[in-house]
Amino acid sequence: MNILQINSSARSTGSASTRLADAIVARVRNSKPEATLVRRDLAAEPHPVLDEATLQALFTPADKRTAEQAARIAQDDALIAQVQAADVIVIGAPMYNFGITVQLKSWFDAIARANVTFKYTENGPVGLLTGKKVYVGLSRGGLHRDGVTDSQVPFLNTMFRFLGMTDVQYVYSEGMGMGPDAVAKAQTLADAEINAILV
């Protein structure tokens, strides 16, 4: 079993979502000690945004790319290879302004590649990243679970489904900005959810 952990907080220390992702990974490894782990921290090692130069590189045939364009596409290829190799994907996802962070958006922008991780057919899009289990640790300052202000989970569900990942489990740490009691309560609830994960 191969585990891929993606931390997408802008903070490389003290992050509640990374704490969740670490705890989920520990839980999985407890059941599957032989599992390998690849860990990418997008704060410590950011992935570049999808800008005009990147789009030009993507739409240039591989054998016509400049060295700079090839190097940029190789960065995306590396993230795609990590996802393809993973059986279990664990993502730490903080809420920033009701959505995911730019770090996580850049990761999705890198791994969503036509005819590699999804394809269009006469029946619509088909995701090619199948057979994977996804866990997402969500951290929020306030309370949004199952409410209209949660723009993260609907987006993540759409994105994962589009890419072929249909087995997705969310663990929440909410109320991170609501004082120490709320933080302690959220961590207790999250730990119980993580302990209940069946691998």
Ligand X SMILES: Cc1cc2nc3c(=O)[nH]c(=O)nc-3n(C[C@H](O)[C@H](O)[C@H](O)COP(=O)(O)O)c2cc1C
What is the pattern of x (binds ligand X, CB under 6 A) and - over residues 70-109?
Answer: ------------------------xxxxx-----------
Residue 3 near residue 38 (C-beta atoms within 8 A):
yes
- Nearer to ligand X by Cβ, of 141 and 164: the residue is 141
- Nearer to ligand X by Cβ, of 46 and 177: the residue is 177
Tell me if 17 contacts ligand X by CB under 6 A. Answer: yes
- Least separation in angstroms between residue 150's CB and ligand X is 9
Residues 6+ away with beta carbon under 8 Å from 88:
1, 2, 3, 4, 28, 35, 132, 133, 134, 135
- Nearer to ligand X by Cβ, of 73 and 156: the residue is 156
Based on its alpha-carbon atoms, the radius of gyration of the chain, rounded to whole angstroms, reads 17
- Nearer to ligand X by Cβ, of 128 and 183: the residue is 183
Ramachandran sector of residue 146 (left: φ over 0; alpha: ψ -120 to 50; beta: rest): left
The dihedral of CA 165, 189, 27, 17: what is its sign? positive
- Nearer to ligand X by Cβ, of 15 and 54: the residue is 15
Residue choice 5, 117, 139, 152 for contact with ligand X (CB under 6 A) = 139
Residue 2 near residue 169 (C-beta atoms within 8 A):
no
Tell me if 152 contacts ligand X by CB under 6 A. Answer: no
Tell me if 16 contacts ligand X by CB under 6 A. Answer: yes
Residue choice 5, 6, 9, 107 for contact with ligand X (CB under 6 A) = 9
- Least separation in angstroms between residue 196's CB and ligand X is 22
Residue 104 near residue 10 (C-beta atoms within 8 A):
no
User: Measuring CA to CA, how many Å separate 112 from each of 50, 136, 157?
Assistant: 11, 18, 14
Tell me if 170 contacts ligand X by CB under 6 A. Answer: no
Q: Which of 116, 134, 34 is closest to 78 using CA atoms?
A: 116
> Given the rule CB under 6 A, which residues bind ligand X?
9, 11, 15-18, 94-98, 139-142, 144, 176-177
